[in-house]
Amino acid sequence: DPPELKIGQKLNEGKTKQIFELVDQLGLVLVQSKDQITAGNAVRKDQMQGKAAIANKTTSCVFQLLQESGIKTAFVKQHSDTAFIAAHCEMIPIEWVCRRVATGSFLKRNPGVKEGYRFSPLKMEMFFKDDANNDPQWSEEQLLEAKLCVAGLTIGQCEVDIMNRSTVAIFEIVEKAWATQNCTLVDMKVIEFGVSVKSREIVLADVIDNDSWRLWSAGDRSQQKDKQVYRELKEVTPEAMQMVKRNFEWVSERVKLLLEPQASSRVVLLMGSTSDVAHCEKIRKACASYGLPCVLRVTSAHKGPDETLRIKAEYEGDGVPTVFVAVAGRSNGLGPVMSGNTAYPVISCPPLTPDWGPQDVWSSLRMPSGLGCSTVLSPEACAQFAAQILGLRDHLVWCKLRASMLNTWVSLKLADKKLQACSL
Ligand SMILES: Nc1ncnc2c1ncn2[C@@H]1O[C@H](COP(=O)(O)OP(=O)(O)OP(=O)(O)O)[C@@H](O)[C@H]1O
Ligand SMILES: *[C@@H]1O[C@H](CO)[C@@H](O)[C@H](O)[C@H]1NC(C)=O
Ligand SMILES: *[C@@H]1O[C@H](CO)[C@@H](O)[C@H](O)[C@H]1NC(C)=O
Ligand SMILES: *[C@@H]1O[C@H](CO)[C@@H](O)[C@H](O)[C@H]1NC(C)=O
Ligand SMILES: CC(=O)N[C@H]1CO[C@H](CO)[C@@H](O)[C@@H]1O
Ligand SMILES: [Mg+2]
């Protein structure tokens, strides 16, 4: 049973959920799903037994994926089958739509574009939330001129850019995760941001669920697994609703898999001597921030080349995708010898010292022909490069890299905004 929560007053209620204050938990709310599916702005309304639970599961898995990747979201944790706890936000009344493949309303608004047209970069659109006027599409200029003020934050260029960039990163993370299930994320809509009442930060809020995306299994439109099936029903019969529900269940079964590693990966860090262990620990720590396991071994390619090759064979032999990192001071024999004897990627990360560093580094840079050994000097950058290699196969690693890139971009943007405000 879910733990007891002291539920306070209802703060908001919409078509699909209710928002409750949480007594004793300042800045948090309970988001409760309703057992109802809507399309065409609630013109068609049907209760669907169990829909709330499925939607809840979908939302919580997607938000967990985003959060574990490092994206800032309002989601805190699942509370029950149909409810989760979230940061209390004032919502920015804009729905972002992000498209990879042209379909649906985009085709109507852009005659001549064929279904299946692929957007690279992603196509971004935004809609002002205004039921009375059917949520009109807005340009960036319209949003800027509206000078919306949300939880004390004025939505200006900086905030619009942050939402735009975040939407792209969110889409790409969810897209990458669905690709592991052979599913094409065609588009995502109703991506909404809020301003956290407590932290005053822009965070992804509301929900992402079946209703929020188009998903084509194996990239095939006839295998759509999204709410479009419901929109296209000619007649709402019990059998038809069963099919929609089966589709929903199909997604909710698979959405769990988005959180599981679909490929193993590992860094094997070879050091020439234990005097390099502090440098290696920095690499291991940075690997951990990408969720990458990192094994530390001691071996010298100069003094025990037979052991170096034996250790290499040990890790080549178990089929786990591996990046080798060589940490050797003075003359780095380790990286080049490894690189010349394995088809796996090898990164040298020599612990350079101020006295001989400029001379020593050449033993890592100037290679015999036929070697693809790379050299990265900082331990953190070495781990990042290993993650970029392994992220090609391991979506959870890739998602962390992608979110980290977004967060760096956002903090630069905010630092600049702050500095501009100070110098005024
Ligand atoms: N973390 C949150 N804090 C505060 N309000 C939230 C939070 N998450 C969602 N809301 C708001 O709760 C309200 C109810 O949600 P619901 O999705 O049911 O509304 P709706 O009828 O679909 O209308 P909308 O078009 O605004 O989504 C919405 O206004 C939504 O923005
Ligand atoms: C989002 O950013 C892109 C790239 O900067 C820009 O081309 C696009 O117009 C923006 N979209 C919206 C809806 O603001
Ligand atoms: C993925 O889709 C392809 C292309 O349609 C299909 O041939 C393949 O069998 C699918 N693989 C899996 C694992 O479902
Ligand atoms: C999500 O989409 C799948 C596929 O259509 C559907 O089966 C599932 O019920 C949906 N979940 C919900 C309720 O949003
Ligand atoms: C709907 C759903 O399954 N997601 C969460 C919603 O509530 C249940 C209740 O336990 C959670 O366990 C789910 O993770
Ligand atoms: Mg809504």
Atom nearest to 56 CA in ligand 5: 1
Strands 346-348 and 374-375: parallel
Q: Is the pLDDT of residue 35 over 70?
A: no
Residues 6+ apart with CB under 8 A from 337: 301, 305, 308
Q: What is the CA radius of gyration of the chain?
A: 26
Q: What is the pLDDT of residues 212-245, one digit of tens each?
A: 889 998 777 777 777 777 777 777 788 877 777 7
Strands 183-196 and 213-217: antiparallel
Looking at residue 239, its pLDDT comes to: 80
Q: How confident is the model at residue 41 (pLDDT cuts 50, 70, 90)?
A: very low
The average pLDDT across 82-102 equals: 95
Q: Tokens standing for 307?
A: 């052991």
Looking at residue 289, its pLDDT comes to: 97
The average pLDDT across 366-386 equals: 97
Strand partners for 91: 194
Q: Is the pLDDT of residue 43 over 50?
A: no
Q: Is the pLDDT of residue 117 over 70?
A: yes
Q: Is 86 in the pocket of ligand 1 (CB under 6 A)?
A: yes
- Nearest protein Cα to ligand 4, atom 3: 248
Looking at residue 3, its pLDDT comes to: 66
The average pLDDT across 307-332 equals: 97
Q: Is the pLDDT of residue 318 over 60?
A: yes
Q: Is the pLDDT of residue 58 over 90?
A: no
Q: Is the pLDDT of residue 1 over 60?
A: no
The average pLDDT across 175-199 equals: 94
Looking at residue 44, its pLDDT comes to: 47
3-class DSSP state for residue 287?
Answer: helix
CA distance 293 to 187: 33
Q: Would you report the helix, strand and coil content of the chain in percent, each value rounded to 5?
A: 40, 25, 35
- Nearest protein Cα to ligand 2, atom 11: 124
Taking the CA of 211 as reference, the closest ligand is 4
293 or 252, greater pLDDT: 293
Domains of the chain (ranges, CATH numbers): 266-393 (3.40.50.1970)
CA distance 134 to 138: 12
Q: Is 350 in the pocket of ligand 1 (CB under 6 A)?
A: no
Q: Is 242 in the pocket of ligand 1 (CB under 6 A)?
A: no
Q: Is 182 in the pocket of ligand 3 (CB under 6 A)?
A: yes
The average pLDDT across 162-171 equals: 98
Counting ligand 2 atoms within 8 A of each CB, the residue from 106, 140, 141, 155 with the most, and so the one to mutate, is: 140
Looking at residue 243, its pLDDT comes to: 77
Q: Tokens standing for 295?
A: 């094994």
Cβ distance 200 to 72 under 8 Å?
no
Looking at residue 225, its pLDDT comes to: 72
- Nearest protein Cα to ligand 3, atom 9: 218
- Nearest protein Cα to ligand 3, atom 12: 182
Q: How confident is the model at residue 142 (pLDDT cuts 50, 70, 90)?
A: very high
Residue of 301, 303, 283, 302 lying closest to 293 (CA atoms): 283
373 or 225, greater pLDDT: 373
The average pLDDT across 52-59 equals: 73
Taking the centre of ligand 6 as the mean of its atom positions, its distance from the CA of residue 129, in whole angstroms, is: 10
Lowest mean per-residue pLDDT among 79-93, 234-248, 322-336: 234-248
Q: Tokens standing for 264?
A: 């193993």
The average pLDDT across 316-338 equals: 97
Looking at residue 150, its pLDDT comes to: 97
Task: Output the average pLDDT for the chain.
Answer: 91
- Nearest protein Cα to ligand 1, atom 19: 14
